[in-house]
Amino acid sequence: MRDSVKSLPIGIASARKNFSSLVSQARNGQRIKLTRHGKNVAWVVGSDDREALRKKTAKLKRKGRVASGE
C-alpha cells in the first residue's frame, strides 16, 4: 500500500457511469474515494493495495493494536 498515492474523489452517479474506467484506474494503483453529497461513502482500491492493507491489519491485530472484530 503506497502512502504517497492520493485518492481521487468521485461522486457515486459519475462512478456508476464510468465504473469500468474506475476499476482500471484502481487496478493501476489509483485509490478512488466515492462520495455522496460531498461525504465519503466508500473506496475502490486495487488488489495490491487490498492485500497490503490486509497484511498491515493482521500485523496490528497480532500486536493488539486493532480489535479482531469478532
> For residue 70, what pLDDT band results from cuts at 50, 70 and 90?
low
Homologous superfamily of 7-62:
YefM-like domain (3.40.1620.10)
pLDDT at residue 67 in the model: 74
pTM value? 0.69
Query: What single string gives the DSSP state of each residue in 8-63?
Result: EEEEHHHHHHTHHHHHHHHHTT-EEEEEETTEEEEEE--HHHHHHHHHHHHHHHHT
Residue spans of the domains in the chain: they are 7-62
What average pLDDT does range 7-19 have in this prediction? 92
> Tens of pLDDT along 14-49?
999 999 999 999 999 999 999 999 999 999 999 999
